[in-house]
Amino acid sequence: MRLRKFLAIGLLTAPLSLGFVFPAMSYGQDSTDAPEKSAEDVAEVEPEVLSIPDQILQLVKEGKPAEAAKVLETAMESDAVAEKLKPLHQTIATGFVRARQYDKAMAQFGAAVEFELERTESPSDAVRLSSLIRQVSVYGLPAAQPELAAQWSDQAIEKVQALEAKHPIEIQMPLSRLIQVRASMLAREDEDAAKDMLAKQVAKLEEINATEDRSEKTTVELINLLTTQNRLFDEVDGQERVASAFEQALGAYPESSVLMGQYASNEYSVISGLARVSPDEAIERMEAAVAKLTPYEENRGVASILSRIKSLESRIESTRKQLEMIGQPAPELDIDGWANAEGISLEDLDGKVVLYDFWAIWCGPCIATFPHLREFREEFGDQGFEVVGITRYYGYTWDEESGKAVNGSEDPTPEEEREAITKFLQSKDMEHPTIVAPKVTEMQSNFGVTGIPHAVLVDREGKVQMIKVGSGQANADALHAKIKELVGE
């Protein structure tokens, strides 16, 4: 099975940081260029110009990125300061991201990218550009504008490659990071091209690391590229190459906190993936990682990841429990009430193939599975198949004015929350019934739920035949194939 099915794609899970960016210079004209002015002239102009960054920062902090954009647009009408204010586009873009206004964020990111492309003339400039492109690649996806992210990535790579002749070693860090970002996007549509792009950069860094130009930085970037290859592609020796690279790197730079942090992150990703499919192998790998990382606990970054690795033990045991459930009768349902289920009863499920979908109203990945659930029901509903959602009380009510479920200070009654769940499902064109469990229940634990969405497929005899955790096409395809098999029996 492809390892990328097991590992979280780092780019799609990166935490949001406002990353406010302000120019290092003053915002008025340079004193060497400015014409002579009277004290009165300076008193009238300087406070207004100097206050622009503070105004924008304050508005973004207050959640008003649109107002911040207007302030910047007005200020940039003055040619005297326009160039020095351009970095503020990135600040405003992050404000729009926090407000989930991704299209507007991309417009601001576009202005920021244009500015950075114009001024990238050195390796340090290229590092700043690569960091910006990484942000763009992440936020370009929910904005449904991946083509823009791809275009800007290509322009950035071309710009940085132009500096390679003058800075053959120093430029490799930002260039490698840009290639990782672009290859991750490209792999969705042209896997061969993405493989080729990464392979060429890997070969280049391997060549550098075989000479006296090798450094901790070039070693770090080589490992980043190898782990990206391993995450994206089904290569038989992928993990072996990563393990060999770590062994050589830590041998050459045993005191490197960066490399040890990389090793810890890679082990967490691999163990996390194994925890879902091979609990014995996951435990073995976890014990080895803990033994290797424990001596480095003084490093706060390593200590944090080590703690996360240890926390995977409960997931591993949950997987063991899930595997033991296959072929066994499904655990008993614990029902406080139903939502979106007029006229439905448990007896109606007898003799049917049932997909129990554990979800929550606040869970983005759960909602991402809705189109698949709808398709399953439409395709197999008349063949003795049903989808049954299972959720809990989280304090949500339905706001008629906004047409959304809201979680506020109110303490809704169970009836009110079930109504909110019903309206939420209907707003998503979902017609399947949903069980709402009591506030105190062991049902989730009995079904081996440690994360959602968590799908449990039960045959006509009430026996568990498949369990899948998480969203994604791979899980959807596996469930579809199994449902088709079960309804045909």
DSSP class of residue 288?
A: H
What pLDDT score does 44 carry? 43
What pLDDT score does 277 carry? 87
From the number of C-beta atoms within 10 Å of its C-beta (0-12, 13-18, 19+), residue 180 rates as buried
Amino acid at 63: G
What pLDDT score does 188 carry? 85
Beta-bridged to residue 339, according to DSSP, are 434
What pLDDT score does 234 carry? 74
What pLDDT score does 459 carry? 97
What pLDDT score does 3 carry? 37
Evaluate whether the domain defined by 3-230 bears CATH number 1.25.40.
Answer: yes
The full set of domain ranges for the chain reads 3-230, 255-325, 337-487
What pLDDT score does 142 carry? 67
Fold of 337-487: Glutaredoxin (3.40.30)
What pLDDT score does 366 carry? 95
What pLDDT score does 446 carry? 92
Question: Is the Cβ–Cβ distance between 99 and 40 less than 8 Å?
Answer: no
User: CA nearest 204: which of 189, 229, 225?
Assistant: 225
What pLDDT score does 222 carry? 97
pTM: predicted TM-score of the whole model, two decimal places: 0.67
What pLDDT score does 408 carry? 72
Which positions of the chain have pLDDT values less than 50?
A: 1-50
